[in-house]
Structure 1
């Protein structure tokens, strides 16, 4: 009898939980009906989000108290698309179309002759500092993003990014996205890279290098660069932890389009190599 009551109680709890949420799912496509991979989907600054898979499909659980909010779809090279959550029907084959964005960015000229490689960021780490990755990923398949401010003062081409990791779980490969932001109030602001820079790479304990030399990432003023971890499934085990160093500050966010969080007293061990 006690076992039956327990099962009934769990069923009622699950039923009540499902009633308190709305499930939105579908596929994100371009205006040419081509799937868009790894689109950030969420409520801006509300830490409720997800990311589409390689074929543009997604599923997100949204609490009922947020149904009057706008759901935003964001991907480099496309205009943001927004729709009020209450206006979305719950059919599984719902299509969300994004329009291509035409961006005119002032060209930054760098003469590759006689350049030298310079490291910008945090090039060392302390075993006393550890960062956790598995955050807000039980309900929705959501990202975690790590940002590092680069105090660029003259034309610089970003060649590669380095991040120190430990407790790496053995896996074939992990997916990451590299983002570039301008700066407002000391935080990442607008995304200014126009390409969807996806890195599919096997990880190791220690320093990991992400090669972005094939992209035109040339800047002549301070920016934020971020590494965005893209999980494969909701609720996956913690894939790795990141190293850091005492003092300074770390800037992260735990949801697509979520609010940036600043922690003072430590900084993440991330640096880039640039040609200047």
Structure 2
């Protein structure tokens, strides 16, 4: 009996020890002191991450096993910053300041010849096939993406993803564009904050880009980032056998390929 009680106590201790976490809270601002919304915060290549609220506040649970790592802060239009977690934990009134990124737009030459519009990506789906997505933390993101191949310089007209889930309340979805590095999403390619707030319904979810003046002349990855809401999971349509589709389930996390099929994502491009 005593041995059984000792074993149970030991297992409980090991469980608590393995799941011990520290809470880090703070505020993210720009160099002018203005709060920055929806900053991606996390430990790179881990499952630990979060996103700042609309007023720049954040709170993140960090496993004690990762307290010697660095916490990275990144946001559209700002230089990425990383800090040793131990240093951040020592600050009782933590405020992280991000500096605006100075970017030089590369010139993209578009022919004056009358241009046509093309749908690039996956415009169909396989019935009964879906890609359920869930973030590792309730306060973190889900991001679905796919590689788009360009044969000539293009202006992007819109971006589309087929959603199978429906939402009772409006949710925020941010559109991101990444360069291609070794066949996977790499560094951010377009430094523009593009967020659409809407109630999700089954069907194509479209973000209009007509007025964004986005011109690209290289292959790129387009990504739909589902920002935290009361609905922590969402399902997307997919096409069986379609390649070049990616997913990540937390800020600063690892991109992985969708194995069963490619998420139904396409862009309309004017060439």
Q: TM (normalized to structure 2)? A: 0.89
How far apart in 1 are the matches of 2:195 and 2:205?
15
Q: Is the 8 A contact 1:24 1:90 kept in 2?
A: no
**Unmatched segments (≥5 aa) in structure 1:** 1-8
Runs of 4 or more, structure 1, over 6 Å off, are none
Q: Is 2:236 the counterpart of 1:242?
A: yes
Cα distance between partner residues in 2 of 1:96 and 1:19: 27
Residue 33 of structure 1 corresponds to 33
Q: Which of residues 193, 200, 204 in structure 2 aligns to 1:203?
A: 200
1:160 maps to 158
Cα offsets for 1:125-153 (capped at 9, x unmatched): 11231111223124xx1101111101012
Q: SS state of the match for residue 158, structure 2?
A: strand
- Structural RMSD (CA): 2.2
Aligned partner of 1:76 in structure 2 is: 76
Q: For the Cα contact (< 8 Å) 1:74–1:80, is it kept in 2?
A: yes
Counterpart mapping for 1:220-235 below 5 A:
220-232=217-229
Looking at structure 2, the residues matched to 18 and 29 of structure 1 have their Cα atoms a distance apart, in angstroms, of 34
Structure 1 position 43 matched with structure 2 position 43: yes
- Indicate the SS of the match to 2:242: strand
Query: What's the CA shift for 1:90?
Result: 6.0
User: 1:91 Cα deviation (Å)?
Assistant: 5.7
Written as runs of structure 1 = structure 2, the 5 A alignment for 1:1-276 is 16=16, 20-89=20-89, 93-111=93-111, 114-138=114-138, 141-171=139-169, 173-232=170-229, 236-238=230-232, 240-249=234-243, 250-276=245-271
Q: SS at 1:264's partner residue? A: coil
Change (3 A) 1:36 1:243: same
C-alpha offsets along residues 213-265 of structure 1, whole Å, 9 cap, x if unaligned?
22131101101110100013xxx344531110100233100010100011334
CA, structure 1 residues 200+93, in 2 after alignment: closer, same or farther (shift >3 Å)? farther
Q: Distance in 1 between matches of 2:92 and 2:132?
A: 33
Partner Cα separation in structure 2 for residue 116 and residue 223 of structure 1: 20
Q: Is the 8 A contact 1:51 1:256 kept in 2?
A: yes
DSSP-derived class of the 1:106 partner: coil
Equivalent-residue separation in structure 2 for 1:89 and 1:81 (angstroms):
16
8 Å CA contact 1:25–1:90 kept in 2: the answer is no
Distance 1:90 1:129, change over 3 A: farther
Kindly state the Cα deviation for residue 211 of structure 1 after the two structures are TM-superposed.
1.1
User: Per-residue deviation at 1:178?
Assistant: 0.8
C-alpha separation in 1, matches of 2:92 and 2:134 = 27
Q: Which consecutive residues of structure 2, in runs of 5 or more, have no partner in the other structure?
A: 1-8
Confirm or deny: 8 A CA contact 2:38 2:54 kept in the other structure. Answer: yes
Asked whether the 8 Å contact 2:24–2:59 carries over to 1, the reply is yes
